[in-house]
Amino acid sequence: MKKERSLAGRILQYGAMMLFVYLASSCSDKAPPPPPPAETAQAANAVAPSAPKMADAKLVVAFGDSLYAGYNLDQEKGLAPVLEQALNRRGMKVRVVNAGVSGDTTAAGLARLAFTLDGLPRKPDLMLVGLGGNDMLRGLSPMETRANLGAILTETQRRGIKILLTGMLASPNMGPDYAAAFNPIYPELAKRYDATLYPFMLDGVIGKRSLQLPDGIHPNDKGVTVIVGKLAPVVAGVLKP
């Protein structure tokens, strides 16, 4: 019972947190601000990693939004570098490219997909796809989210790239109808495109202030470590022959 109450409390906190962000974004008709200059530079540099480091390593592309981009974190403490280090500690030669852009919706991700992949020196061995959270926060149609993610996965599959889809859950304040349409998107698309599914990107972090930035949403460096601790074994399993 104690464990169930704890889980319920985290879900309620998640709903309250998402409601605050949703209301804040809804009160402005301006486009979301661009990512900080350092983050933009990081993403740009990540698209064209140095050839020597890439030569004998598996290439993984982390294609997503602020949760991938390392929002408000030092460059070496974002998801991509921490995941790369974790995989290397497992004895795997892996280069993880940060192709995350803060504020990206699924539509924005789809628009830059070809540019991102074409800018790499070779075809990735794996692409992590983590988009949809901003669609949900803006209350965009789940049908639109599904269509855009489907187009991203279709193109990635067409290029012969393995896919790991990291899912998102609708905030409870969005209502049961929205959740019923949004939450199944990730498992259903993963099944349709034969992609590996990591069900909830913020698993283990939501509701734990010590693992979050002051905004109550994004993980801090400790939160990233928790996420990578859960995600790295899944990535490693996909990369192994």
For the annotated catalytic residues, the residue numbers are 66, 215, 218
DSSP annotation of 126 reads E
Q: 49-66 in b/e burial notation, b at 16+ Cβ within 10 A?
A: beeeebeebbbbbbbbbb
Task: Give dist(CA 33, CA 103) in Å, integer.
Answer: 8
Task: Please tell me the distance from the alpha carbon of residue 145 to that of residue 6, in angstroms, as a whole number.
Answer: 31
Closest-CA residue to 143 (of 184, 93, 94, 91) = 184
Is residue 151 within 8 Å of residue 131, measured between CB atoms?
no
Q: Which residues pair with 127 in a beta bridge?
A: 61, 163
Place of tokens 């928790």: 226
Distance in angstroms (rounded) separating the CA atoms of residues 49 and 64: 18
Question: Are 153 and 189 contacting, i.e. CB atoms less than 8 angstroms apart?
Answer: yes
Q: Per DSSP, what are the bridge partners of residue 61?
A: 97, 127
164 in helix, strand or coil?
strand
Ramachandran angles phi, psi of 164, nearest 5°: -120, 115
* Surface-to-core class of residue 37, CB atoms within 10 Å of its CB (0-12 exposed, 13-18 middle, 19+ buried): exposed
